[in-house]
Structure 1
Amino acid sequence: LENSMPSNHVLRERKETIQHLKIVYLPITFGVSEKRLRWLILDELRRDTPPR
């Protein structure tokens, strides 16, 4: 019983931290994924050209 309360508190804190990190990192990851998508599209276009 003694251990259940602190772990619950830790879990709640972790959950809040994860949500905060999501809010902070979502724009960053979106920007990165946007760049990655652009590179993927460029790769696809390059792949469409016949091989030498």
Structure 2
Amino acid sequence: LENSVPSSHVLRERKETIEQLKFLYLPITFGVSEKRLRGQILDEMRSDTPPR
């Protein structure tokens, strides 16, 4: 147990990796979500039904 890596260190490394992945995928996800949002807005403008 004593020579095992502290969980806080592992969590910190994992968080840094997640941050790096977020930074890498931000342009992709932003572009996709932007298109999806535009599609939703256009759909709502086309149909007069209120959004659920």
For normalisation by structure 2, the TM-score amounts to 0.72
Aligned to 2:20: 20
CA shift, 1:19, in A, is 0.7
What 5-or-longer segments of structure 2 have no aligned partner?
Answer: none
Instruction: Tell me the CA shift for residue 22 of structure 1.
Output: 1.1
**Other-structure match for 2:34:** 34
Unaligned runs of 5+ in 1: none
Identity %: 77
Q: Aligned letter for 1:8?
A: S
Q: CA RMSD, aligned part only?
A: 2.1
Count how many residue pairs are aligned between Structure 1 and Structure 2.
48
Q: What TM-score, normalized by structure 1, do the two folds share?
A: 0.72
The structure with the largest alpha-carbon Rg is 1
1:1-52, Cα deviation, whole Å (9 max, x unpaired): 727x61122111101101101101111110011110111011112113xxxx
Moved over 6 A (4+): none
Higher helix share: 1
Query: 1-side partners of 2:30 and 2:46: how far apart?
Result: 24
